[in-house]
Structure 1
Amino acid sequence: MGDSISSLPDEILGKLLSLVPTKVAASTSVLSKRWRNLLSLVDSLSFDESMVVYPNEEEATKGSQRFCDFVDKTLALLHNSPAIKTFSLCHYELQRRIRPSQPSYAMGTFQIWGHFGGTVVEHASIKRLVIATHVPHHIDYYLLLEYFENACQTVRFQAPSLVYLDYSSFVFRKYDVGDLDSLVEARLSLKLWRSTSHYDYDDDYYYDYNGSLCDDDDPSPPIFGDVTCLVAAIRNITTLHLSPDSLEVFHFCCKSMPIFNNLLNLSIESNNQNGWQVMPLLLKSCPNLQTLVFKGLVHKVTNRCGDACACNPQNPSLKNSKKMKKKKKICCLQTCPVKVLEISDYGGCFQEVEQMRHFLGNLKCLETVKVGVVPDNKGKNAEFLRANLMNLPKLSSKCTIQLL
């Protein structure tokens, strides 16, 4: 069997080696002289240390260094490789700085998994870029603060051929993003470094890093990061996916919202831990939006939700209520050109019904509404949910509702 495989053409062997982990592919070079130079024909690289379990911290440190050395040596061997189509890297301690020296080096998909840290990706031919930073749900705030103060704080993207970006990470202080005019689709899962609960109802005061009150007349202190440059760089995309945390990042960490003239599809995830503060501004910035997708309608109620939702804040101050009345204008939904509205994970609770009432009563261009019901509410409850939705008033006479 071994001789039969060795007799295959080099191109075929290169394809076979591309299907296995790079560590396995590299190990074949010791089999014989025939296999020694075949690694240069591999068009898919996959480095993954996440599956390795170390007995203690000392061994983990040594093993981590060996992994880094292996990655460096392998990339050095492949610096003349003609066409790497897929690159996947998963390592917790790696300083992620990718700057290939060969301008002819062609790359289709590039993936990074690791712990939070600055990232630099510079490549003229990358088409698909996936950066997934481990974002723990529960971690001590002061540990995060210490890391934030000491870690590399710049994320740099220079990839003019990029058409797809999937980026998951904490927000950093600075984003240096070059020309992304080729970008078609972006999937962002950005997370703030600290809670924004102090901002939910108190419009007159803000809290700085140390928890000290800042008067409203003073410039609002930043909340660990600035994504203004990143958001501006993706303004030409046609499809945008945002996580629940990303909505709050856009609100707190984006100094100015660009106009997304080409954006046709906007997909938003929602949960009860994050608010919709940026929704009105975001929708107003999408003048040609055709399809609006929500995974869940339940979200955190704040005084800053705006008119994109039907929320009634639980404890707004009298002063703030007066402000809201003075600022009341035409609902942002009434100028939104969306024709297709898709909802998934619909449970039919009061907040969801009221939100659907708000959508149907203000989106004047709606033609199709698709509502996916959570599995627990299918069956007997489905008819009740259907009747509830069908009886809601619709501003658009062309609107049809489908319960999925």
Structure 2
Amino acid sequence: MLCPYVISSKSIKKLTVTINHSYHVDRSSILTLDTPNVVDLYYSDFPRRKAPHCHLGSLAKVKLDLHSLEDDSRQVQNDADVKILISEIRNVKTLHLTCSAVEIISVCCKGGLPVFNNLVELMFSSKKRDWKVLPLLLERSPNLKTLILSGLHRYTFGRRHRFVGIQIPPINQIKMLSIMQYQGSATELKHISHFLLKMECLEVVKIYVAAEMDDLKKMQLTEDLLKLPRASSEVNIQVL
């Protein structure tokens, strides 16, 4: 018999849910989140065979940190109904996806993603093979204004040794772009150049260089970034 897990409260506004699988937890168990007034949710769990039952009508901000177990098979991951969980949070305004969450989404949501009509800020972290999720999210987030990317130096995909930039929807509303952990590689510079040309509404680009970078290299990178062509001459590029 499955043991249900229920979190129920009509008053709390901020909720952190962390499922620790260092202890035995039956992933076939049903998790219920009956928290209709929660505005800010941090959710860390492993793929479940049954999607959580959610009552999250006020949700505005989510950090999603999904993980896979070392002994998971692809079949188990495919059986996990992550798509339903993603659909439950589709009305948020701010969404933060960790590297591991993006990896799970790339496996479990091959059939597509819901439309995030209210999403205005997306923080996206990824490893090399999972950047394919970003164009899907951008396509399904028509009102996105702020995009924060981490790990861009890991994205090196090309076609026959030719650089291929991340696909940006032709009609996008992105006004602020932040690049975290900038390493200063030639590929990263090409990506940023691509963004500057494809994001026609851009107003501010913030480049956060890696902590270990010395001042001389940072100065050279700043010069290189400021020389890049852009769709609008009004874009303010900041190297931080």
Is 2:30 the counterpart of 1:154? Answer: yes
Which structure has the greater CA radius of gyration? 1
Question: For 1:96 and 1:373, how far apart are their aligned partners in 2?
Answer: 47
Is 2:111 the counterpart of 1:242? Answer: no
CA-CA distance at 1:189 after TM superposition: 0.8
Question: For 1:229 and 1:193, how far apart are their aligned partners in 2?
Answer: 20
Deviations for 1:173-225, whole angstroms, at most 9, x for unmatched residues? 221333322011000111234699xxxxxxxxxx964xxxxxxxxxxx95351
Cα 1:195–1:351, aligned 2, differ >3 Å: closer, same or farther? farther
Is 2:122 the counterpart of 1:266? Answer: yes
Is 2:192 the counterpart of 1:192? Answer: no
Question: For 2:100 and 2:21, how far apart are their aligned partners in 1?
Answer: 11
Contact in 2 for aligned 1:268/1:293 (Cα 8 Å): yes
Deviations for 1:100-151, whole angstroms, at most 9, x for unmatched residues? xxxxxxxxxxxxxxxxxxx432332232110123478xxxxxxxxxx78x54
Question: For 1:227 and 1:159, how far apart are their aligned partners in 2?
Answer: 19
Contact in 1 for aligned 2:14/2:39 (Cα 8 Å): yes
CA-CA distance at 1:294 after TM superposition: 1.5
Higher RCO (Cα < 8 Å, 6 or more apart): 2
Runs (4+) off by over 6 Å: none
Where in structure 2 are the equivalents of 1:2-13 lying within 5 Å?
none
Cα 1:393–1:300, aligned 2, differ >3 Å: closer, same or farther? closer
Question: For 2:6 and 2:62, how far apart are their aligned partners in 1?
Answer: 18
Tell me what 2:134 maps to.
279
Question: For 2:57 and 2:14, how far apart are their aligned partners in 1?
Answer: 14
Q: TM (normalized to structure 2)?
A: 0.84
Tell me what 1:167 maps to.
43
Where in structure 2 are the equivalents of 1:336-355 lying within 5 Å?
336-355=172-191
- Structure 2 unmatched runs, 5+: none
Which of 170, 182, 185 is residue 58 of structure 2 equivalent to? 182
Tell me what 2:204 maps to.
368
What secondary structure does 1:260 align onto? coil
Q: From the two aligned structures, give the one with the greater helix fraction.
A: 1
Question: For 2:234 and 2:71, how far apart are their aligned partners in 1?
Answer: 42
Is 2:63 the counterpart of 1:227? Answer: no
Identity of aligned residues (%): 32
What secondary structure does 2:130 align onto? coil
AA in 1 matched with 2:140: S
Q: TM (normalized to structure 1)?
A: 0.52
How many pairs does the alignment contain?
Answer: 235
Which of 132, 154, 168 is residue 299 of structure 1 equivalent to? 154
CA-CA distance at 1:265 after TM superposition: 0.8
What secondary structure does 2:18 align onto? strand
Cα 1:153–1:393, aligned 2, differ >3 Å: closer, same or farther? farther
